[in-house]
Amino acid sequence: MTSIRVMQQRAEGDPKGFWTEAAAGISWHRSWDRVLDTSNAPLYRWFSGAELNTCYNAVDRHVEAGFGEQVAIHYDSPVTDTAYPITYAELQVQVARLAGALKAEGVGKGDRVVIYMPMVPETVYAMLACARLGAIHSVVFGGFAAAELATRIDDAKPRLVLSASCGIEPSGVVPYKPLLDRALELTNHPVARCLILQRPQCEATLLAGRDRDWHEAQQGVEPAECVPVAATDPLYILYTSGTTGTPKGVVRDNGGHAVALHWSMKAIYNIEAGDTFWAASDVGWVVGHSYIVYGPLLARATTVLYEGKPVGTPDPGAFWRVIEQYQVKSFFTAPTAIRAIKREDPDTEYLARYNLGCLNALYLAGERCDPDTLNWAMDTLKVPVVDHWWQTETGWAICANPLGIEPLPIKAGSPSLAVPGYQVDVLDEEGEAVPPGQSGAIAIRLPLPPGTLPTLWGDDQRYIDSYLSRYPGYYLTGDAGYQDEEGYLYIMSRIDDIINVAGHRLSTGRFEEVLAQHPAVAEVAVIGVADKLKGQLPLGLVVLKAGVTLSESQLYEELIALVRKEIGPVAAFKLVSVINKLPKTRSGKILRGTMRKIADNQDYVVPATIEDPAALDLVHNTLVRLGYGKGRVTA
């Protein structure tokens, strides 16, 4: 097996040769003129001059190679009590027919299509149908607020919108059509046509002249063939929050994306053709794009499309049932999901009902994984647990334990080493690399590898200003942390999650790591609050495990003593409170920035991505009680 460090050196010393070898795993309509195009640096492009089709690589070539009867997708929806397999041959038929319907509506190469849909197979068909035609899809998380959907429509300027009548949550049906109708009232960009998938749980009223039924639109159309596009042409736009309040449209190209994701399936996730891979996410997020849809299908793996939750659909054994039923080899989810399962099933009674002998590894990403969660998962599942780190912008892992190359010793709290192709440095304020063990801003040397964002949609300058200007020659990740002597990276916080306590720069991630060690604590968030004497103090909000009988006063004493022991008196940790629920986005990220604004008496907007607004109210009331929560809601 090749050493990861040798492979890192190859990718750094000869990136063109390294990625040329990786590109052999993809079928090209036309080869490239240049592997790495540096002519417009710092806007680098990969495989310029080449042509391919991503849908062909994800679907058609596997059918042509004789694997049409292999299951491409296991659809599993506990919220509707529905489950069925979709073979590669069936997938090809469905995608080609939908692409034909889109083509009949005038969609062609370079046109944008907004997809506002739930976790159903038709959403995957929609993404692949756009790719088949060379159209650019922009998936907006189903159920997103109308105003947020409208801003994305105005920015992407789609020819049409694909949507569904509703999504389904454990709490009930979420009608999408009224949200879409309101969004289209708010937009400046006119959308002439919407195709609506009617779900029996809540049928929508269609607007005559604009809306067409999903299935009726496909009747009598000619299935569309794959359209070759330039490797540098966009495959999709995925919007992520911007500091200005205007979403940033992350662009993903066709060529580099296909090469990087195909390579990553074996190198990082140890998935071979025919294996089953499951990313328990949503296609509205980057994980869903990369590792529910494109990555597994490019590698001719079987992917799982799951419309459910880790707990409550129906119980904390839901994930383990899916893994056993579909013989999942590698499983990817967020630490939040594991913490939710741990909280509801601390004695692993539900886990004991299932045989997980098929599972080789658990992968965690999307947020920082505290060591307590990682160690619990490893002790419970008896498989390697890989905490890996990446971003919407990068599209695939920056740092990971690459089980398909060389399994590394696991260090709890670290996503391990930089993946070949990424050159990660930790920099001080002046842009100088800091020594091992010292915290700083985490940045990646340019050029970024294939599959990462080449720019932002329609705004090269915003891309440069947001990511490339602070440290020339580097991409700024926005995360802070340190590397140890062996090169293992530790992501401790966002750059603005460093607090200054009497001149000592301390990471809120370190506080959370310590507090999570307490046996009564299920989840924790730490923010910095203003203090007249010390500048800032850490304030901890903890969610307790089910069945904890410890008194609050005793718990607080133990938590304060734990921080004093692990971090020291310099932490000045004395503010802690129990809370029933932490406010999070739908993708599971804790809204620390919003909580900081409340505590610092700043105006704040309730994020459109919030999972439960009531949880933010809980935080607000708690901070008020502690003398800090005076931030004002502005919208």
124 part of a folded domain = yes
Question: Residue 1's pLDDT band (boundaries 50, 70, 90)?
Answer: low
Closest CA to 115 of 55, 164, 162, 166: 162
Indicate whether 242 pLDDT > 80: no
Cβ atoms of 250 and 197 closer than 8 Å? no
620 part of a folded domain = yes
Arithmetic mean of pLDDT, 278-307: 97
Domain boundary among 451, 481, 511: 481
470, 512: one domain: no
Cβ atoms of 599 and 623 closer than 8 Å? yes
Structure tokens at 68: 């049409």
Domain boundary among 481, 516, 548: 481
Q: Number of helices (H) and strands (E) in the chain: give both, helices first.
A: 19, 31
Least confident range from 25-29, 275-279, 516-520: namely: 516-520
Structure tokens at 252: 């993903």
Closest CA to 586 of 282, 286, 253: 282
Q: What pLDDT, in 10s, does the model give residues 232-241?
A: 999 999 998 6
476, 575: one domain: no
Indicate whether 151 pLDDT > 70: yes
Domain of residue 527 covers: 497-625
343 part of a folded domain = no
Cβ atoms of 334 and 377 closer than 8 Å? no
249, 155: one domain: yes
| Rounded distance between C-alpha atoms, residue 80 and residue 38, angstroms | 50
Question: Residue 147's pLDDT band (boundaries 50, 70, 90)?
Answer: confident
| Adjacent-strand bridge partners of 237 | 251
Instruction: Report the pLDDT value the prediction gives residue 504, as an integer from 0 to 100.
Output: 66
Sheet containing strand 330-333, edge to edge, reads 82-87, 71-77, 302-306, 276-279, 330-333, 361-364, 385-387
Cα angle at 53 between 49 and 54, to 5 degrees? 115
548, 452: one domain: no
Write the Ramachandran bin of 55: left for phi over 0, alpha for psi from -120 to 50, otherwise beta: alpha
| Rounded distance between C-alpha atoms, residue 566 and residue 557, angstroms | 14
Q: What is the pTM of this model?
A: 0.87
Handedness of CA 402, 403, 405, 407 (dihedral sign): positive
Cβ atoms of 537 and 599 closer than 8 Å? no
Question: Residue 635's pLDDT band (boundaries 50, 70, 90)?
Answer: low
Question: Residue 245's pLDDT band (boundaries 50, 70, 90)?
Answer: low
Mean pLDDT computed over every residue of the chain:
93
| Rounded distance between C-alpha atoms, residue 351 and residue 86, angstroms | 27
| Rounded distance between C-alpha atoms, residue 312 and residue 318, angstroms | 8
Give the CATH number of the domain where residue 18 resides.
3.40.50.12780
405-431 burial, b at 16+ Cβ within 10 Å, e below that, comes to bbbbebbebbbbbbbbbbbbbbbeeee
Arithmetic mean of pLDDT, 177-186: 95
467, 527: one domain: no
Closest CA to 477 of 444, 439, 438: 444
473, 504: one domain: no
| Rounded distance between C-alpha atoms, residue 543 and residue 531, angstroms | 24
554 part of a folded domain = yes
Instruction: Report the pLDDT value the prediction gives residue 200, as an integer from 0 to 100.
Output: 96
Closest CA to 575 of 602, 599, 548: 599
Q: Is 247 helix (H, G, I), strand (E, B) or coil?
A: coil
Structure tokens at 56: 């062909």
| Adjacent-strand bridge partners of 512 | none
129, 74: one domain: yes
Q: Is 593 helix (H, G, I), strand (E, B) or coil?
A: helix
Q: What pLDDT, in 10s, does the model give residues 63-80?
A: 999 999 999 999 999 999
Q: What pLDDT, in 10s, does the model give residues 152-176?
A: 999 999 999 999 999 998 888 999 9
Q: What pLDDT, in 10s, does the model give residues 370-419?
A: 888 899 999 999 999 999 999 999 999 999 999 999 999 999 999 999 99
Q: Is 496 helix (H, G, I), strand (E, B) or coil?
A: helix
| Rounded distance between C-alpha atoms, residue 594 and residue 586, angstroms | 15
Q: What pLDDT, in 10s, does the model give residues 438-474?
A: 989 999 999 999 999 999 999 999 999 999 999 999 9
375 part of a folded domain = no
84, 216: one domain: yes
Instruction: Report the pLDDT value the prediction gives residue 591, as an integer from 0 to 100.
Output: 87
The whole-angstrom distance between residue 491's C-alpha and the CA centroid of its chain comes to 16
Q: What percent of the chain has pLDDT over 70?
A: 97
332 part of a folded domain = no
395, 528: one domain: no
Question: Residue 507's pLDDT band (boundaries 50, 70, 90)?
Answer: confident
Give the CATH number of the domain where residue 510 resides.
3.30.300.30
H or E element that contains 35: strand 34-37
| Rounded distance between C-alpha atoms, residue 44 and residue 48, angstroms | 10
Instruction: Report the pLDDT value the prediction gives residue 118, as an integer from 0 to 100.
Output: 97
Q: How many structural domains compose the chain?
A: 2
Arithmetic mean of pLDDT, 130-142: 96
Task: Please give the single-letter amino acid code of residue 109.
Answer: K
Q: What percent of the chain has pLDDT over 90?
A: 76
273, 177: one domain: yes
| Rounded distance between C-alpha atoms, residue 232 and residue 250, angstroms | 14
Domain boundary among 449, 481, 513: 481
120, 175: one domain: yes
Q: How many alpha carbons lie under 13 Å from residue 593 in its C-beta half-sphere? A: 14
520 part of a folded domain = yes
466, 601: one domain: no
Indicate whether 498 pLDDT > 90: no
Indicate whether 243 pLDDT > 80: no
| Rounded distance between C-alpha atoms, residue 430 and residue 249, angstroms | 29
